[in-house]
Each structure stands twice: as structure tokens, then as C-alpha cells.
């Protein structure tokens, strides 16, 4: 879908540039056309959510659609006509999706009462998305690869500690120790990010 948005054999950069200029000039007909083309936003975000294992629910997506439209409007001055409007909007939506996912994880970090509670809140993307760092917890990307892989095998693949131990050529006890160490690190990373958000809000 995103490739189709970026490639249009009938794309006329001058037409889209004129449309954006007319929108900025508050011309009624341009605003109506632009509003119609903004209908791609919920489709793009829904497709992105499906691709990443549906980490956001309907309420999250509805909020994200509104946020993304606001960002698109705020960034209209940045549109230079190198891609169809829908392709340019799609790139903004993908960035806003990741921002929305980060905010959700920060909220979860605030509410997690313990390492075990935190572990229960980890997402479970469908098979095939296990290696996609963007589709899972942001903090996993900040762990050592071996620790991140252990968490993925436990939560996203559903293996037991003996199964993980055989796959990684480790003892079950070593797997458990490294697993809980990784969870503690993940929790600390998310809580640090959550505190950063709270500090920004208090100064806002």
C-alpha cells in the first residue's frame, strides 16, 4: 500500500503544489479537495497497525488519526512536490504511528508495578514479526542482542525456558537469570522515558 502511495504514474507535482498553496490561502474548493485526500490517513494508520501486530486499539488509532492530521496541516509548508500528497502524508503517518506507540509504552511503564507485571504487558505480534524491532518494544533495541532475543523467544514465540535453553545452548537457570535481568533493564528504560515525559509536561 505504501509503495502505491509513493508511486503514481499520473502524478503531477505542479497540481499538488498548487493544491497545497490554495489550501494555505484558505480557498474553499481546495480545502474540500484536500479534506477528501486526507481520508487516506486512517487507512494508512490501520494498515501500519496491522503490519506491526495491532499494538494499538481502536481508541488509540482514533486519537492518532487526529494527531496525524494536525501534523500534516502544520507541515504543509514542507511539502515540495517530490511525491504525491498521499505518499508524503504516509511518511508523516508512519512517524506519528511510532510516536503514538512510544507514548503508549511510556504509559504502560508508569503503571507497571513490578517486573512480573511489566512482563505481562509485553505485546505479542504475529509470527514473522519477531525480528522487527520497530514492531516490538522500543526498549528492546537498547538491550544486548542476546538478551533481546531471549525476551522475544519467551514472549513472542512462546517458548518455555527449557526450550529456550536448548535453542541458545544455555542452561535453563542461566536463561531465567538473563530473562529477569533483561526485564528489569526494559522496565528501567521505560520508566526513565516516562519520567522524562512527566518532566517535560511539568515545564510545559
According to the model, what pLDDT value does residue 126 have? 40
Quote the cell numbers at residue 110.
Answer: 508508569
CA Rg value for the chain = 21
The rounded distance, in Å, linking the Cα atoms of 184 and 181 is 5
The rounded distance, in Å, linking the Cα atoms of 130 and 101 is 17
Calculate the average pLDDT of the chain.
76
According to the model, what pLDDT value does residue 193 have? 59
Query: What are 48-73's pLDDT values in tens digits?
Result: 888 877 878 888 899 999 999 999 99
Helix (H, G, I), strand (E, B) or coil at 81: coil
Residue ranges of domains in the chain, CATH in brackets: 2-108 (1.10.1740.10), 112-203 (1.10.10.10)
Is 200's pLDDT higher than 70? no
Query: What are 86-134's pLDDT values in tens digits?
Result: 999 999 999 898 888 877 766 665 555 555 555 555 554 444 343 333 3
Report for 84-88, 132-136, 152-156: range of highest mean pLDDT: 84-88
Say whether pTM exceeds 0.75.
Answer: no
Average pLDDT of the residues in 15-43 = 93
Q: Among 114, 101, 83, 94, which residue's Cα sits nearest to residue 12? A: 83
Burial class (CB in 10 A: 0-12, 13-18, 19+), 100: buried
Report in angstroms the alpha-carbon separations of 52 from 106, 136, 141, 169, 197.
18, 8, 16, 30, 24
Amino acid at each position: 500500500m505504501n509503495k502505491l502511495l509513493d508511486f503514481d504514474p499520473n502524478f503531477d507535482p505542479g497540481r499538488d503544489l498548487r493544491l497545497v498553496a490554495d489550501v494555505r490561502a484558505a480557498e474553499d474548493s481546495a480545502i474540500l479537495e484536500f479534506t477528501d485526500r486526507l481520508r487516506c490517513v486512517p487507512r494508512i494508520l490501520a494498515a501500519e497497525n496491522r503490519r506491526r501486530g495491532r499494538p494499538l486499539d481502536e481508541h488509540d488509532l482514533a486519537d492518532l488519526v487526529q494527531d496525524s492530521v494536525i501534523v500534516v496541516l502544520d507541515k504543509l509548508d514542507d511539502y515540495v512536490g517530490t511525491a504525491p500528497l498521499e505518499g508524503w502524508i504516509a511518511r508523516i503517518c508512519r512517524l506519528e504511528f511510532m510516536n503514538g506507540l512510544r507514548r503508549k509504552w511510556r504509559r504502560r511503564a508508569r503503571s507497571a508495578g513490578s517486573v512480573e507485571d511489566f512482563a505481562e504487558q509485553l505485546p505479542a505480534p504475529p509470527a514473522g514479526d519477531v525480528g522487527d524491532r520497530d514492531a516490538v518494544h522500543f526498549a528492546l533495541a537498547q538491550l544486548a542482542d542476546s538478551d533481546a532475543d531471549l525476551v522475544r523467544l519467551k514472549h513472542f514465540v512462546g517458548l518455555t525456558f527449557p526450550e529456550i535453553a536448548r535453542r541458545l545452548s544455555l542452561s535453563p537457570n542461566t536463561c531465567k537469570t538473563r530473562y529477569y535481568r533483561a526485564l528489569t533493564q526494559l522496565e528501567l528504560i521505560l520508566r526513565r522515558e516516562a519520567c522524562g515525559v512527566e518532566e517535560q509536561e511539568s515545564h510545559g
